[in-house]
Structure 1
Amino acid sequence: MTSPPAHVLVADAVLPVDAPALAPGWVAIAEGRIADLGPGRPPRDRGPIVELPGQALIPAFVNAHVHLGASFLEGASSDLEFWPWLADAVQPRVAAWLRGEGRVEAEADAVRAAESLLEGGVGFAAESFLDVLGRDAMVRAGLPGIFFREFFGVSAGDLAEEAERAARRVESDLATLAGTSDIEYGLAPHALYTCPPSILEVLHRLAKKNDLLLTLHLEESPEEHDAFGSQRGPLHGWLVEKGADRFLLDRRPVQVLESLGLLDVPWVFVHGVQLEAVDLEILARAGASLVHCPSSNMRLAEGVAPVEAALEAGLVVGLGTDSLGSTGRLDLFQEMRLLLWSQRARARRVGGWTAGRALAMATLESARCLGEETTRGSLGVGKWADLTSVALELPLDRASAVDQVVWKGSPSAVRGVWLRGRRVVPRGSAS
């Protein structure tokens, strides 16, 4: 697709994220990238001007963890804690889907979810699922991102054969999916309790060989924390039934990864609610990043992630929505607010938990988690012109633009989304 002609967006406020706010401000776009930006009115030689009165321009959100392919699970999390949710609500529905039930409906659900992300201001998403359902939905919606193919293996009869199947799947994906659209490719061993070490090692080797990013649900729930190391609880009992000798249950989850020698490549770990200080230090030394999904964690009564401790240890921390099956709503405005409320409550102080930090985590820090920070996540010269405009309800002398975006913003307040300089929201826009 060719880039739109050069033009300039002028708004009541421009929030670059990594630089001071410009109020009012402008962003000049040329060849799909940000050519310049500044305060006040733009120079006359930058191209036609698009006025955005009563709006703030921000970088398009980066959703660092979502399961669009699992959107058919919406409604599964009503009043359930993690293990009953997973065992009694999620697994039966996924099993039915694998048998072919509700395939057409699941496809429609995934497309609607992808479109809702884009219309809610998201310009890049990290999709994890065992099938291309979510990836195809992103292509149809016009939403760029990365597709992490999920792998399991906990119920496999022969782990050696399962590892070979996983390797063949990766090679096939690399031949047919990688580099064929605006969707990048990565690998997602689902979790340490669903992906035995033999499968993890194969995926680690392939990621290292092909320079692929890895992501993994890690220390999400109390049940996972108790199953490893303490060797107790319902999840531990379930693993014993599956074959305890398939797993390293005598150590903490991070110790499992460390003892297998898997931390020598980039990892994007998701959740981390139960991580201890010693675990955070290990992950920080390994250069790992962490994606925080506050609404999912709190709705499933998993706890509040130690985000401040993770940042102090040196991890990069971004934000994700997780799936409709656990949150019921894909809304990064909500995630920003829940981040601030929960971290302030955990610390019993405001500290550094400001609206500006929340916006950075939903944009630049999420991009950094995924290795995308040089091309997106902030408004800087040379980056892709991926922008979102948000309606401002109050005069800026009463509430700053960043405060209004974070504390009052919602998907319904999104007035426009631009990807590589082309306006894609509202649909059919001319500028």
Structure 2
Amino acid sequence: MSESQFIIKPRWLVTMDEGPQVREQHAILVDAGKIKAIVPKSDIPDWAVDWPVVDCSQHVVMPGLINLHTHSSMNLLKGYADDYALMPWLNEHIWPAEKRWVSPAFVQDGSLLACAEMLAGGITTFNDMYFFPQATIEAAKRTGMRAHIGLTIMEFPSNYAATASEYIRLGTEVRDQYKSESSISFSFAPHAPYTVSDQTFTDVVTLAEQLNLGIHTHLHETQAEIAQSQEQFGVRPLQRLQALGVIGPSTVLAHGVHLEKYEQETLATLGAHIAHCPSSNLKLASGIAPVASALRSGINIGLGTDGAASNNRLDLWQEMRTAALLAKVSAQQAEAVPAYQALQMATINGATALGLQAQIGSISVGKQADLIAVRLDELNSLPCFDPISHLVYVASREQVTHTWVNGQLRYQRLPDGQPQFAGIETEALRSIALQWQLKMQQPAD
């Protein structure tokens, strides 16, 4: 018997796959990082009867959550500049701070903190966009997370690169270095229409086709972005990117707050995906995305937290609940985005957007064992008539007790409530955060 073989026995199983939404009294058999079988608890096959058992008798077990848009290392800028609209926030606070502080060490340490926060909240995969992607990859590898790395590209110089061509060169070098890593995947990440030229977008499209990579960019986050595009290019950003060939079935568009109905239909026809980030959109006063309408148009929508500098949490439980509630009130339809659809947005929809739906996003035989256990017997969760409703409208990330990635236990909440991570001690994470806080509070020379 191998240590990689074990059985999880939950009270409820939510697979996010075809079939019943909830299965009771079933067990998941995990072997070598993959889901080997799903059987009634009373029907454990003879070949697995001696496998170790993880008792989750008061839990829901479900697929790991997928954070479809974040800037993980910006955890070190959590609370650094609050209560500003997007462009003043970027121009007057975030970009100057990044110019002063961003380095490989900043990115790796910030990403370590982000990975720990995400794992403790049941997030097993994140779609990142930031500088020094190698440092983010190393943080993900240390903590055991699955990472989809956006290779950031823009026209403006940073501590990472000086020109668009240098961003592209450095990004492709990182991709070449890590392309054999099974838990790491890549896309090109031209930052936004207002930071990337037509020529660079064209170059990215060509390279993405040659290397079979997707494209991850911000789009229609604010009305100001749209007005700037109309003034500079004579068209709205989506029309410009469509003409440049950016929009397609391998494109993930972060935010999509201001999309007209015809634009939603265009995105659906072209097969592009939206990373909906409701908390960040609210905090920056960017607006409320037309999610109910976009879903009806046929767009695949996943959920993202954005970075902790503009949220300030990497908490997909909060995003699920907020996404469902905002969709109801903006559409004035209580049935808009029901609980199960919100769960889809946080799991299988995100996997589909990243082209990873054959590996993760649902619990089915042959897929990777990216799983989480959520305890529902605490007072705030009782009584429980419908576990799916509770997962979206009641549960919090503090109720996640186990997080497995590739069948490896990467986080557990101990009986005394303390977090335990694989790959790094909790006290080491606290030390990293405090050291950066002290450093960043020092006055500039």
CA displacement 1:336-391 (0-9 Å, x = unmatched): 01101111111122214221111111011111111111111111111111110001
Check the 8 A contact 1:389/1:417 in 2, yes or no. Answer: yes
Q: 2:391 aligns with which of 405, 413, 422?
A: 405
Check the 8 A contact 1:4/1:422 in 2, yes or no. Answer: no
CA displacement 1:157-196 (0-9 Å, x = unmatched): xxxx934324422442233232245211211000000111
Partner of 2:431: none
Q: Indicate the SS of the match to 2:16.
A: coil
Check the 8 A contact 1:67/1:323 in 2, yes or no. Answer: yes
Q: How many Å separate the matches in 2 of 1:377 and 1:167?
A: 30
Check the 8 A contact 1:293/1:320 in 2, yes or no. Answer: yes
Partner of 1:147: 149
Q: Please report the TM-score for the alignment, with normalisation by the length of structure 1.
A: 0.88
State the aligned residue count. Answer: 404
Check the 8 A contact 1:57/1:390 in 2, yes or no. Answer: yes
Q: How many Å separate the matches in 2 of 1:74 and 1:143?
A: 21
Q: Indicate the SS of the match to 1:311.
A: helix
CA displacement 1:400-420 (0-9 Å, x = unmatched): 111222222222111101122
Query: Cα offset for 1:54?
Result: 1.1
Check the 8 A contact 2:292/2:337 in 1, yes or no. Answer: no
Query: Cα offset for 1:27?
Result: 1.1
Q: How many Å separate the matches in 1 of 2:196 and 2:292?
A: 29
Check the 8 A contact 1:4/1:421 in 2, yes or no. Answer: no
Partner of 2:272: 288
Partner of 2:217: 216
Q: How many Å separate the matches in 1 of 2:331 and 2:421?
A: 46
Q: 1:298 aligns with which of 282, 307, 310?
A: 282
Q: How many Å separate the matches in 1 of 2:401 and 2:373?
A: 5
CA displacement 1:288-316 (0-9 Å, x = unmatched): 11110111001111111111221122211
Partner of 1:72: 76
Query: Cα offset for 1:42?
Result: 3.8
- Counterparts of residues 248-287 of structure 1 (less than 5 Å): 249-264=233-248, 266-287=250-271
Are the structure 2 counterparts of residues 397 and 94 from structure 1 closer, same or farther at C-alpha, using a change threshold of 3 Å? closer
Check the 8 A contact 1:189/1:195 in 2, yes or no. Answer: yes
Residue type of the alignment partner of 2:277: C
Match status 1:17 vs 2:19 = no
Partner of 1:123: 124
Partner of 2:415: none
Query: Cα offset for 1:262?
Result: 2.9
Q: How many Å separate the matches in 1 of 2:150 and 2:86?
A: 23
Check the 8 A contact 1:188/1:215 in 2, yes or no. Answer: yes
Partner of 2:328: 344
Q: Indicate the SS of the match to 2:30.
A: strand
CA displacement 1:36-90 (0-9 Å, x = unmatched): 2144534252343322121110101111111112222211441112222111111
Q: How many Å separate the matches in 2 of 1:170 and 1:6?
A: 37
Check the 8 A contact 2:221/2:286 in 1, yes or no. Answer: yes
CA RMSD of aligned residues (A): 2.3
Check the 8 A contact 2:154/2:164 in 1, yes or no. Answer: no
Partner of 2:55: 51
Residue type of the alignment partner of 1:74: K
Q: How many Å separate the matches in 1 of 2:270 and 2:369?
A: 32
Q: Indicate the SS of the match to 2:42.
A: coil
Identity of aligned residues (%): 29
Q: How many Å separate the matches in 1 of 2:389 and 2:193?
A: 39
Residue type of the alignment partner of 2:136: G
Structure 1: 5+ residue runs without aligned partners? Answer: 232-247
Check the 8 A contact 1:58/1:387 in 2, yes or no. Answer: yes
Query: Cα offset for 1:134?
Result: 2.6
Query: Cα offset for 1:428?
Result: 6.9
Q: How many Å separate the matches in 2 of 1:315 and 1:302?
A: 21
Q: Indicate the SS of the match to 1:87.
A: helix
Q: How many Å separate the matches in 1 of 2:80 and 2:147?
A: 26
Q: How many Å separate the matches in 2 of 1:14 and 1:264?
A: 34
Q: How many Å separate the matches in 2 of 1:227 and 1:348?
A: 31
Partner of 2:99: 95
Q: How many Å separate the matches in 1 of 2:26 and 2:173?
A: 47
Residue type of the alignment partner of 1:149: L
Structure 2: 5+ residue runs without aligned partners? Answer: 413-419, 423-445
Residue type of the alignment partner of 1:141: T
CA displacement 1:208-239 (0-9 Å, x = unmatched): 1000011010001121122122x3xxxxxxxx
